[in-house]
Amino acid sequence: MLSTVLSGAAVLTAALIAPAPAQADVEAQLLDTLTCASSSTTTYDPPIGLTPVTTTRTIHQVYGPCVGTGVASAVTGGTHDSSNTTARSCLQLLSTATVSWTIHWSNGSQSTVTTQRVSNLAGAVFTNTFTGTVTSGLLTGHAVVETMTAPSTQILACTLGQGTVSSLGAVHTLTIV
């Protein structure tokens, strides 16, 4: 009887000491992070102006160098390329929008992110802040923050009706935690 009580106590002690599966998953996710420097080029053909025009927007973005931990430790860089045709104006560059894109990572995996974009035009600087979540692929469920900074000269002139935007070159910082 004493051995039964002792073995029961051992099982109870082990259950109390072992982390719950959900807690273990959360702790593992905290170890899975990724931070990347990045640059992008976005072109508009034909260029966009103050009045909406049907244009093809093409984005080429290169992520890297990247530093990852946990499941993302093998990621050293990545790319995102997309193109679509729709009616656009330069005023839309300053709007808030839900944006999704897929990143193809250097280790052969990919991540699709869905974010809310908030834009700001202040002096000589145009910024976008993207805040959201990895919705599929590597690091699914993790939070995403990406900041983009570009010169604002073309955009400012366009919003004043004094020019068009044909392309934007930008630098980015991506953090997935």
Coil, strand, or helix at residue 129?
Answer: strand
Strands 110-122 and 125-137, sheet pairing: antiparallel
d(C-alpha 136, C-alpha 102), whole Å: 9
Provide the residue-wise pLDDT of the chain in tens; the chain has 177 residues.
434 433 444 443 444 444 444 444 444 455 899 999 999 999 999 999 999 999 999 999 999 999 999 999 999 999 999 999 999 999 999 999 999 999 999 999 999 999 999 999 998 899 999 999 999 999 999 999 999 999 999 999 999 999 999 999 999 999 999
Chain centroid to CA 114: 8
Write down the pTM of the prediction.
Answer: 0.81
- Lookup result for tokens 């250097």: 106
- Lookup result for tokens 């244009």: 55
Region class of 113: left (phi > 0), else alpha (psi between -120 and 50), else beta? beta
